[in-house]
Chains A and B, each alone.
Chain A
Amino acid sequence: MAVIAEPVAKPVSRFHFILDRRGVFEAILVAPAIIYVLLLVGLPLLLAVYYSLSAYTIYNPTWKFVGLANFEQILQDPTFFDTLRNTFVFTFGSQLLGLVLGKFGAFLLLRPFPGRKIVRALIILPFAVPVALATIAWQWMFDSLYSVINWTLIAAGILTREDAPNWLGNPYLAMLCIVVINAWRFFPFAIVIFLAGITAVPQDVIDAATVDGAGFWRRNYQIILPMILPIVAIGLIFGIVFTFTDLSIVFLLTMGGPGGATSVLGFAGFQTGIVSGDVAHGAAISLFMLPVLLVVVIFMLRFIRRREI
Chain B
Amino acid sequence: MSTVRSLRVTRRRFLKQTGLSLAAASAPSLTGPFISKALADTKTLSIVQWSHFVPEYDKWFDQFAKDWGTKNNISVTVDHIPVGNVAARAAAEASGQSGHDIFGWNGAGGAHLYRKFLVDVTSLVEATEKKYGKVSTIGRQIGYNQDNQTWSAFPDFYINFPAMYRKSMWDEIGMKPDTWDDVRIGGAKLKAKGHPVGISLGHSNDPNTTWRGLLWSFGGALQDAEGKNVVLNSKETVEAVKFVTALYKEAMTSEVLSWDDSSNNRYLVSGIGSMIVNPISAYRTFQKANKKGADDTFVMAPPKGPVRQIMGGASEFYGIWKFAKNQEGAIEFLKYYADHWPEAFKASEGYNNPCFANLVPKPMPILSNDPTSTPSDKLAALQDSEQWSASPGYPGPSWPAVDEVYNNFIICDMMSKAATGQLSAEDSVKWAHQQSEAIFTKWHGKT
List residues of chain A with CB under 8 Å of any chain B CB: 55, 57-61, 73, 76-77, 79, 139, 142-146, 166-170, 174, 251, 254-260, 270-272, 274-278, 281
Contacts and interface: CB of A to CB of B under 8 A. Distances in A.
Contacts of B94: 58
Given A58-B94, A166-B258, A281-B442, A79 B435 contact: yes
Contact of A169 (B116, B258, B409): B258
B254 A260 contact: no
6 contacts: A60-B447, A139-B260, A255-B204, A258-B420, A275-B88, A277-B404
B407 A276 contact: yes
Contacts of B447: 59-60
Interface string B243-272: 000000000001111111001001100101
B435 A255 contact: no
Closest 4 CB pairs of A and B: A169-B257, A168-B258, A257-B203, A169-B258
B202 A258 contact: yes
B442 A274 contact: no
Given A257-B257, A259-B417, 19 more contacts: A58-B113, A59-B116, A59-B447, A79-B435, A142-B258, A145-B263, A145-B267, A168-B258, A169-B256, A169-B258, A255-B260, A255-B409, A257-B202, A257-B203, A258-B202, A271-B408, A274-B88, A275-B88, A277-B91
Given A145-B272, A169-B256, A274-B88, A259 B407 contact: no
Interface string B421-432: 010000000000
A48 to B, nearest CB: 13
B413 interface: yes
Contact of B255 (A169, A256, A260): A169
B313 interface: no
Given A57-B400, A166-B254, A257-B203, A277 B409 contact: no
Given A60-B116, A260-B413, A272-B404, A167 B446 contact: no
Contacts of B104: none
B84 to A, nearest CB: 8
Specify the main secondary structure of chain A where it touches its partner: loop
B350 interface: no
Interface string B145-178: 0000000000000000000000000000000000
A257 B258 contact: yes
Nearest to A79: B435
Interface string B64-89: 00000000000000000000100110
B355 interface: no
A59 B446 contact: yes
A103 to B, nearest CB: 32
B204 to A, nearest CB: 6
Contact of B403 (A143, A276, A281): A276
Contact of B400 (A59, A139, A260): A59
Given A73-B438, A144-B263, A145-B263, A57 B258 contact: no
A218 B114 CA distance: 63
